[in-house]
Each structure stands twice: as C-alpha cells, then as structure tokens.
C-alpha cells in the first residue's frame, strides 16, 4: 500500500457492482462481496500495514470512487462501499496525523471490469451485460486505465491528499452539494425506465445508440465486447 507498483492492475480490478435495483435483489447476503472487497479488504490490509507504514513514513493510496458522492441508481451497495472507504480513511487521516499520509483517490469511469460490462446480478452471480453497461455508464467518458494510474502515481508523489481522475469530474461533487435534487432528477431520467419497460430501454443507452458517441467517449477495447456469462 506504500508502493506504486502494479497500480494499473489495482485500478483495472477495483471491484464490481450490482446492476439490479436494490429491491430486486433476491438475497442480500449474495451481494455482500461488494462490501467485503471494497471496504473490509481495505480495512484489513490497513490494519496489518500500520506498523510498517509508521516505520517507513509511508503513504496509503485509497482507491475509492466518485460513486462515493454520486448516487447512481442500481449501484446503491457499490456506492455505499466506496463512501464507507472514504469516511474510514478520512478518520484515519486524523488518527495517524503526520505519521502516515493518506491520498484518497476518487476516479470517475475507468477501463475496468465494470466498464467492460461485468456486474453482479440480482441472484449474486457474475454476469457480463454490455447493454446494461451502456445504461449505467451512458454518455460519461471512460478514461484509459494507464492514464488513471499515471495520474494517481504523479499525484501521490506530489503528496496530494485528494486525486480525482479525470480532473473535470470534481465538478460532480459540487453538483451533488449545491443542487442534489437536479442530480437526482437527471440520473433518474437517464438511467431508469417506467413500470413494465425493460431497464435496457433507458434514455442513456438510447442516446449512445442514436448518436454513436460511444466511439468517442469509450476506449476502443471496451466499445464492443463478446457477451458472455460467468
């Protein structure tokens, strides 16, 4: 955690998210892995690394997410796990003082398992669904994992406390703080469908289909992938 090696791997495998609505989840315990991986995995690693980090005056790089403040629908448990991470390490920042430094990273959409369409479905099984990927990501640009990793390493080397990649995504935090009702309305409009309609008919996906902007907004290697289940 005090080293930057294989950071691209960490960013690329930062966890998956449930894609069904919370009320559709058949058994809550089937999706507890989201919290186990994102939150408890970080807690346990930090607990055992503390003495070594104190000795080396190391730095903890926390891979949270902009989802920690953006209430995207169908991602409630994922959002909660990332929010928990952020608040946990904010508290540790105070407890550690100057002994152990902390850099909190909050990326937007990055090349990852999720942006390749891999989700946990309502039964708790892993599924690859590009149509629902297009619903969730929509017209939000997806940055390359290499660019994200470089930004994190460079920011951590400069001693930055917070890193948001891409940098423009910081404005979404201000949207959430100053006009939460507008953010909620837009997300509901883009990502949800009415009763009796397929979730794949969401407006965000229709915009991608009609405009073809996916070729501009998504890296080439995640634009079209073979659909499969796991």
Specify the residue for token string 């949270």.
64
Catalytic residue list: 78
Whether the Cβ atoms of residue 120 and residue 16 lie closer than 8 Å to each other: yes
Q: What backbone phi and psi angles, to 5 degrees, belong to 109?
A: -85, 125
Q: Which two tokens stand for residue 211?
A: 């405009």
| Other C-beta atoms lying within 10 Å of the C-beta of residue 77 | 20
Q: Could you tell me the sign of the dihedral formed by the alpha carbons of 89, 92, 97, 99, in that order?
A: negative
Whether the Cβ atoms of residue 65 and residue 106 lie closer than 8 Å to each other: yes
CA distance 185 to 180: 9
| Other C-beta atoms lying within 10 Å of the C-beta of residue 126 | 13
Instruction: Give CA angle at 42 (44, 168), nearest 5°.
Output: 170
Whether the Cβ atoms of residue 142 and residue 116 lie closer than 8 Å to each other: no
């Amino acid at each position: 955690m005090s080293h930057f090696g294989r950071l691209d791997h960490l960013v690329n495998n930062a966890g998956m998210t449930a894609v069904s609505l919370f009320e559709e989840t058949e058994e809550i315990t089937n999706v507890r892995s989201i919290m186990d991986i994102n939150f408890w995995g970080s807690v346990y690693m930090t607990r055992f690394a503390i003495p070594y980090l104190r000795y080396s005056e190391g730095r903890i790089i926390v891979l949270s997410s902009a989802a920690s403040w953006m209430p995207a629908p169908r991602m409630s448990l994922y959002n909660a796990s990332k929010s928990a991470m952020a608040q946990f390490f904010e508290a540790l920042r105070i407890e550690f003082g100057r002994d152990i430094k902390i850099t909190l990273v909050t990326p937007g959409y990055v090349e990852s398992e999720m942006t390749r369409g891999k989700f946990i479905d309502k039964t708790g099984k892993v599924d690859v669904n590009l149509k629902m990927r297009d619903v969730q990501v929509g017209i939000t640009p997806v940055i390359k994992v290499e660019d994200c990793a470089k930004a994190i390493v460079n920011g951590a080397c400069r001693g930055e406390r917070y890193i948001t990649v891409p940098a423009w995504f910081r404005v979404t935090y201000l949207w959430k703080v100053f006009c939460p009702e507008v953010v909620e309305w837009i997300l509901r409009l883009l990502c949800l469908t009415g009763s009796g309609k397929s979730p794949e008919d969401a407006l965000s996906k229709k915009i991608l289909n009609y405009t073809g902007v996916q070729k501009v907004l998504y890296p080439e290697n995640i634009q079209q992938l073979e659909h499969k289940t796991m």
